[in-house]
Structure 1
């Protein structure tokens, strides 16, 4: 029969000493990190990163409105005219193939006001897509 201390060690799983034993005298090194630009799509080198981020923000707004209204995915699907499995996919971030027009239509169907404003950028670098959600 194992003693209590032995069972405790077994329940704890591998320890740093166990890793040293398994890998010789080496210890694991820390992972390196890089500061984000604020756009994960740009950080990953995805083309049209601003567009992806804007669509992701719009999908997050749709999911937030569905949740704040206490709607099930089935109820939301009837409101926005999308099949329930597609609502599920959308809420999990699968928004490829959806146009802004369609995403904005979902927000309108959920009772939201959508306004698009175009303004002059002060420079080519300042020209970008920006969405604001109230």
Structure 2
């Protein structure tokens, strides 16, 4: 007989992280931002100018290092990239 675990759909929750919903939301938003930058062929330098971020922070955003970002920051970056965001 095989042992298995049914997952919740939120890896952060499954691993017992605090603020799991917030962490998942930030990852999803950062992923959308990274996809937009890639689709529009925006360099990290150009993204920094558009988003008013240092290139290092753009790199962190694209690489999923999201401690320094809030959900509000990420939503504002989507707006700066021309996306329609409703709160």
Q: Is the pair's TM-score, using the shorter chain for normalization, greater than 0.5?
A: yes
Map 1:1-134 to 2 at 5 A: 34-116=5-87
Whole-Å separation in 2 of the counterparts to 1:42 and 1:65: 27
Q: CA deviation at 1:102?
A: 1.1
Equivalent residues, number = 85
Query: Gaps (5+ residues) in structure 2?
Result: none
**1:105 to partner: Cα distance:** 1.0
Structure with max Cα Rg? 1
1:5 corresponds to: none
Q: Which has the higher contact order (CA 8 A, sep 6+)?
A: 2
Task: Give the TM-score taking structure 1 as reference length.
Answer: 0.59
Q: Provide the alpha-carbon RMSD of the alignment.
A: 1.3
* Runs of 4+, deviation exceeding 4 Å: none
